[in-house]
Chain A
Amino acid sequence: MREEVLNLLAEICEDDAVKEDLQTELFESGLMDSLGFAEFLVELEDQCGVVISPSEVERKDIDTPEKILALVEARR
């Protein structure tokens, strides 16, 4: 699961760095924007069956790969 999520994240950010450095700042670095995040949630539901509604989370809760992993883990 962890690997799936990271691969998906890397695909959307188009950068494998997000798999290596889990503290990467996603929004500030320009790797992710609101459209990218929307895409991520749709794919997350399709591929992993985890449903997260974007209005439930704030940007500060999802701004690194590590925080996203924790969030997905909590929702399984």
Chain B
Amino acid sequence: MDILRRIEDYARACPQREAIRCGAKALTYEELWTYSDALGGWLHRYCGDRRDPIAVYGHKNPWMLVCFLACVKAGHGYCPIDVSVPEARVELILQALPDGPVLCTERLQADAGRHEIFGLEQLQELVREKRSRPVESAYTEVGESCQASAEEVYAELDADCRVQGDETWYIIFTSGSTGTPKGVQISADCLNHYLDWSVTLADSEAEKLGKVFLNQAPFSFDLSVMDLYTSLACGGTLYCLEKSVQSDYKQLMQALQDSSAAVWVSTPSFAEVCLSERAFDASMMPKLATFLFCGETLANRTVQKLQARFPDAKIVNTYGPTESTVAVTEVLVTPELAETVNPLPVGRPKPGTEIRICDEQGAGLPDGEKGEIVILGDTVSIGYYKQEELTKKAFFIESRKKVAGQLGEALRGYHTGDKGYLKDGMLFYCGRIDLQIKLHGYRIELEDIENNIRRLPGIEHAAVLANERDGKVKSLTACVVEKELPADPRSETKALKQGLLAFVPDYMVPKKFVFLEQMPMTANGKADRKRLRAYLEQGQEAVTQ
């Protein structure tokens, strides 16, 4: 698929159709296309021949999308940063990117260093200026068709300039174990291969044409790629739920009802939040035909509740790391499957993807045996942005010999660090091998939190543990050693949480802080997580007894 060409086709065929809506703000396909053309033309002139990635900061304003497309049309990958990312982290990301413009649809508080900031009003002004000339000339001459004016605007940015092939389309920064986020680069080819498959999930592409897709995830979380680009590929309307709407049930339910959404894309956690509201069912969202889940373990209980409330909707579970473009496996969860298989499988690989289960030495394991999930195929990232060491550790290239009648090829592979097994081609996910976890769909390196806790005053040592219930991480506990035990642990906990919020997003702040006199250590000098776990559990037992 050529996603830009698709969007262009929709902009011509159905210019007035809404491409994206967030609250009262919306943009049609024509607006999206022409505005991004104008902004892309300006970017191209501003940046010259450099094709460096560009940061786009904001929340769910429809202009975010204008900025994304403007970047890729002008030959730049974009790096989405949501307002929920704390200042210190935004600064780390901006420092990792080359100097250049930062396109903002919300006010950026962080220190942008040598980057030049462009706010929403400036961006809109740039677009107006750029478009005024050809549009005016066409509209003043009676009899000139609008088509001609559009052609003129379209023609200005050369299609050859666009991001293509192996070039980076977007960079999404994820939690890194050193405390510094790492940027996953997804190429145009990766995205297009992914979309060839994502438009077929649950129903054929034709069934999705022009439908409303629900967006829950912020754009800096790659789950949003599933709704955003699948919607654009199907000429659909992306209906965005802002953070403030999601945290207020009344507004949330009203928004869901108003959305007319046909395709639901979210983390399972978000669906669980909605399920606690009784009115959330098929009579409230009569057009809802498909639930697409990704980002964390989907519980059988969640599926069964959804099936009871939305008896005609299809529920699809998917799995994949950011490093392989959102998702690579799918399974339709039928009532029979939800009844008989617990935990649920995450599915079979998409065309163009191969899944392998490997032992610690990297050798393939037979069906049914647990090991590391390794992904090979046409959606595997080209690596971490300017992080060769990290890239070499996690990614590899496998050459395939020439088979009769076919050319030899090189496949990119990625070691996910996820544990799992295959059974008759069906993949089952069993948690992490290392210290990375998923909490409410967010991917978190525990060491990232630990390194940031150590930046706080008075902290000597810190270890963060993930608390699981029903095989799913529910919360985090930080075990910390300070110079001396705090006199008032409760107020110290509050102070630490507050301090940590300056460095990490709120979902990375541990729920509970436990103060220790000494950190138990393993023989090789690391915090002994097993002993900490035992301490926490025995402590809890002692309290309940």
Contacts and interface: CB of A to CB of B under 8 A. Distances in A.
Contact of A54 (B276, B475, B511, B512): B276
Interface string B464-507: 00010000001101000000000000100010010000000010
Looking at B249, B278, B474, B512, the one whose CB has the most chain A CB atoms below 10 A away is B249
Interface residues of A, number: 21
Looking at B248, B506, B511, the one whose CB has the most chain A CB atoms below 10 A away is B511
Contact of A55 (B277, B440, B475): B277
A35 B273 contact: yes
Contact of A34 (B246, B494, B509, B512): B246
A38 B475 CA distance: 15
Interface in A25-76: 29-31, 34-35, 37-39, 41-42, 51, 53-55, 57, 59
Given A14-B475, A34-B246, A54-B249, A39 B494 contact: no
Contacts of A29: 494, 497
B279 A55 contact: yes
B490 A17 contact: yes
A38 B276 contact: yes
Looking at A15, A34, A38, A54, the one whose CB has the most chain B CB atoms below 10 A away is A54
Contact of A42 (B248, B276, B509): B276
Nearest to A16: B543
A41 B276 contact: yes
B247 interface: yes
B272 interface: yes
B427 to A, nearest CB: 26
A41 B276 CA distance: 7
B275 interface: yes
A42 B277 CA distance: 9
B497 A34 contact: no
A55 B512 CA distance: 28
Contact of A35 (B250, B252, B278, B440): B440
A51 B278 CA distance: 9
B249 A39 contact: no
B304 interface: no
Nearest to A38: B276
A54 B276 CA distance: 7
Looking at B252, B272, B278, the one whose CB has the most chain A CB atoms below 10 A away is B278
B269 interface: yes
Contacts of B509: 30
B543 A54 contact: no
B247 A34 contact: yes
Looking at A37, A42, A55, A57, the one whose CB has the most chain B CB atoms below 10 A away is A55
Contacts of A30: 497, 506, 509, 511
B247 A54 contact: no
B277 A35 contact: no
B253 interface: yes
B128 to A, nearest CB: 39
Contacts of A51: 278
B272 A39 contact: yes
B491 to A, nearest CB: 11
A53 B278 contact: yes
29 contacts: A13-B511, A14-B467, A14-B474, A14-B511, A15-B511, A15-B512, A17-B490, A29-B497, A30-B509, A30-B511, A31-B511, A34-B247, A34-B273, A35-B269, A35-B440, A37-B276, A38-B272, A38-B275, A39-B272, A39-B276, A53-B277, A53-B278, A53-B279, A54-B249, A54-B276, A55-B249, A55-B252, A55-B277, A57-B249
Interface of B: 246-250, 252-253, 269, 272-273, 275-279, 440, 467, 474-475, 477, 490, 494, 497, 506, 509, 511-512, 543
Given A14-B477, A14-B512, A59-B248, 5 more contacts: A13-B511, A16-B543, A29-B494, A54-B249, A59-B247
**Lowest 9 CB-CB distances: which A-B pairs, in order?**
A38-B276, A55-B249, A54-B249, A38-B273, A41-B276, A55-B250, A55-B253, A54-B277, A54-B276
